[in-house]
């Protein structure tokens, strides 16, 4: 197997390990909840319905807060956009330094240079798209999207 094949194999093994780890964590949490319920029944002999609901209800997540998706899309879109812009800036600086120091190999390979700039533009456009998608999310309470009344 060539070295690129080993790299892709390692990547997929890593992804599988993350998935299996998540499944194992969830099963352990469920087992602990059932063990807690069993011990409560052993000690008291009765089940308090309020405690049972508290034990088996899902913990509140940050996603339940109004405006969470709006903020997340705005922040993620901004970060991804600036990553694309940073890659394009790095490429332009590298080409300029290559020209300044007399290294013309960077300038000779126009196809590679075009591909790198195209990739950075694609990343920036992805960031803009994510940012734009925030318009379809519920804004946080207290913010106004409409123009002020006159």
Cβ-based neighbour number of residue 71 at 10 Å: 15
Asked whether the beta carbons of 64 and 111 are under 8 A apart, the reply is no
Could you report the average pLDDT of every consecutive run of 10 residues in the chain (150 residues)? 74 91 92 84 79 70 71 93 92 76 60 82 94 86 61
> How high is the pLDDT of residue 116?
84
If phi over 0 gives left and psi between -120 and 50 gives alpha, with beta otherwise, what is residue 67?
left
- How many angstroms from the chain centroid is the CA of residue 87? 19
Q: What is the pLDDT of residue 19?
A: 93
Tokens of 135: 């318009």
**Residue 139 burial (10 A CB sphere; 0-12, 13-18, 19+):** middle
Tokens for 87?
Answer: 């890659």
> What pLDDT was estimated at residue 58?
63
- Distance from C-alpha of 144 to C-alpha of 90, rounded to nearest angstrom: 38
User: pTM of this prediction?
Assistant: 0.51
pLDDT of residue 75: 93
pLDDT reported for residue 86: 93
In this prediction, residue 144 carries a pLDDT of 61
């Amino acid at each position: 197997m060539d070295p690129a094949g080993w790299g892709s194999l390692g990547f997929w093994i890593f992804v599988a390990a993350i998935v299996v780890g998540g499944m194992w964590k969830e099963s352990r949490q469920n087992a602990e909840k059932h063990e807690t319920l069993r011990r409560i029944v052993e000690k008291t002999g009765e089940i308090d319905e309020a405690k049972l609901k508290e034990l088996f209800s899902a913990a509140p997540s940050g996603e339940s807060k109004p405006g969470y998706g709006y903020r997340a899309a705005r922040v993620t879109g901004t970060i991804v956009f600036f990553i694309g812009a940073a890659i394009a800036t790095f490429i332009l600086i590298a080409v300029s330094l290559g020209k300044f120091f007399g290294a013309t190999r960077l300038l000779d390979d126009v196809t590679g240079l075009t591909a790198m700039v195209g990739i950075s533009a694609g990343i920036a456009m992805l960031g803009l798209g994510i940012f734009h998608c925030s318009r379809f999310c519920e804004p946080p309470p207290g913010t106004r999207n409409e123009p002020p009344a006159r």
